[in-house]
Amino acid sequence: MSQLLEVRGLKVAYGGIKAVKGIDFDIAAGELVALIGSNGAGKTTTLKALAGLLHPTAGRLHYDGKSLHSVAAHQRVYRGMALVPEGRGIFARLSVEENLQMGAYCRNDKAEIDQDMQRIYQLFPRLAERRMQLAGTLSGGEQQMVAMGRAMMSRPKLLMLDEPSMGLAPMMVEKIFETIRDISAQGVAILLVEQNARLALEVAQRGYVLEGGVVGLSDSAANLLGSDDVRRAYLGA
């Protein structure tokens, strides 16, 4: 598989606090990669840097063969990168359908946008039932569906998910991860940041473990699941 995203020596700081301290990783086209680690390890910071919401202090980011240096956050969406942020970030006072339409702001192919809207409703039938409901009145799980659907409306090549299971009931978590598998099966590359390391590694092909802003381990997801160190630190074993 060809490399879609290449990260080399990425460093990100908040003032004098170094949150990410020079990490390297890759994601191939169509690959599902998990980024796991404890709170404060630098996972969300990494995603924000990739999405253009934070400016790295050092390092190189190449996406689809081109540098992301000086590429603004909204321009990265045009290039096929989409972030579902921690906390979902939906437009609470807009309807479900209006939120989804916002995801397609970078497109002008109306007929295909309408087709993609129907695909999202097939992926999330509950959203079809609530399409005219204000998004802020939905349950947490339904809001996560809106956030993921909105991102998919931009037709990303790389979908970045930040803690999609956070605060959700077990049944809803199961549905969200089933959908992540479905999206991956469609050929969309996914970078999954998830506190539930077991769930993340069970759906991923490869994984990276962030520890204090550096990559402590990287391997196939199956090998990381079988690692004694990973089990003790992140899997509750």
Residue 73 belongs to a domain with what CATH number? 3.40.50.300
Contacts of 236 (CB under 8 A, 6+ apart): none
Contact 96, 132 (CB under 8 A): yes
Q: What is the pLDDT of residue 40?
A: 87
Judge if 101 and 162 occupy the same domain: no
Judge if 9 and 125 occupy the same domain: no
User: What is the spatial distance between Cα 25 and Cα 5, in angstroms, rounded to a whole number?
Assistant: 8
Judge if 22 and 48 occupy the same domain: yes
The residue range of the domain holding 60 is 3-80+156-234
- Residue 96 located in a structural domain: yes
Which residues in the chain come in under a pLDDT of 70?
A: 1, 236-237
User: How many domains does the chain fold into?
Assistant: 2
Judge if 176 and 115 occupy the same domain: no
Q: What is the pLDDT of residue 237?
A: 56
- Residue 85 located in a structural domain: no
Q: What is the pLDDT of residue 116?
A: 95
User: What is the spatial distance between Cα 43 and Cα 216, in angstroms, rounded to a whole number?
Assistant: 13
- Residue 115 located in a structural domain: yes
Q: What is the pLDDT of residue 38?
A: 87
Contact 103, 179 (CB under 8 A): no
Judge if 144 and 33 occupy the same domain: no
